Structure 1
């Protein structure tokens, strides 16, 4: 029998076709019932959210195939990636610099060793040199505030709030803002 989070679809879509795309690489496999977490509904109101459930066999491959076909996917594409898959997300963005606008990281250090941190720092610099914005948007805090160990689930309200704020800030230059 497969693990419960590995059941269900590899990709779950929400929002409008043609809207800016948010590609979420979810290591925990939320959205197994073919709906994104309810906390993401506001983001899906003005974005086309593709939730990639990594525990599902082939999920990462399907996300890679989407990025390889920017005409079908739409643009801009903002990638949201969490903890144990942070470096994979940065690598994926590096293979698709013409498609990805930003990489928004959640708890990226939660599963990395010193060598991994050095690799992430190098990859991050390469992406920023290619014009891709890379930012840590949320992380777990020690103490009473967070009762969830790292990485924070991507459906966590704090994560959603910071991702949404980052997306709005990224859109500001195209809307005549700062």
Structure 2
């Protein structure tokens, strides 16, 4: 498993967003803290013409659980109810617990390399890294990885 306690990950904004307000929303809860330069990772940007991406950087948001509660509660007031959550690795169980409290607002939880078994009707694993000698990216796969974006888009298309 990768170490997410690097000091550089804790700098920068706790939340970054892009895409039209009122559009279907993907809330990415990132334990690795990508998006350090005040914009979502480049691999996700082409999605922002048709959906809103809200990227929560856990290392830069120490109270990330309350931030998630706030984002989900704000979404309740919007006219577009479609909200999907993406997360990974060591915080998958916490994310599932948070979504359980807002299950009426969230269509799905899409997980990458979760460290727990997933047994909720609203949650599913969309990508896993492969522990092979030629695998250059240790688990969990970064949420900005192109394979993750592809798997999330594929899962969202299946849900539509």
TM-score, structure 1 as length reference = 0.80
Cross-structure match for 1:23: 27
TM-score, structure 2 as length reference = 0.88
Which protein has the larger Cα radius of gyration, Structure 1 or Structure 2? 1
Offset from partner CA, 1:51-103 (integer Å, 9 cap, x none): 00001122332122111231148421100010011001111110001100000
SS in 2 for 1:87: helix
SS in 1 for 2:38: coil
C-alpha separation in 1, matches of 2:146 and 2:77: 32
Cross-structure match for 1:176: none
1:92 is the counterpart of 2:98: yes
RMSD: 1.7
The question of whether the paired residues in 2 share the 8 Å contact of 1:67 and 1:73 is answered with: no
Match of 1:62 among 60, 67, 70: 67
Q: How many residues align?
A: 153
- What is the deviation of 1:139? 0.5
1:148 is the counterpart of 2:148: no
List structure 1 segments (4+ residues) > 6 angstroms apart after TM superposition: none
Cross-structure match for 1:38: 42
Unaligned runs of 5+ in 2: 1-5
SS in 2 for 1:105: strand
Unaligned runs of 5+ in 1: 172-178
Higher helix share: 1
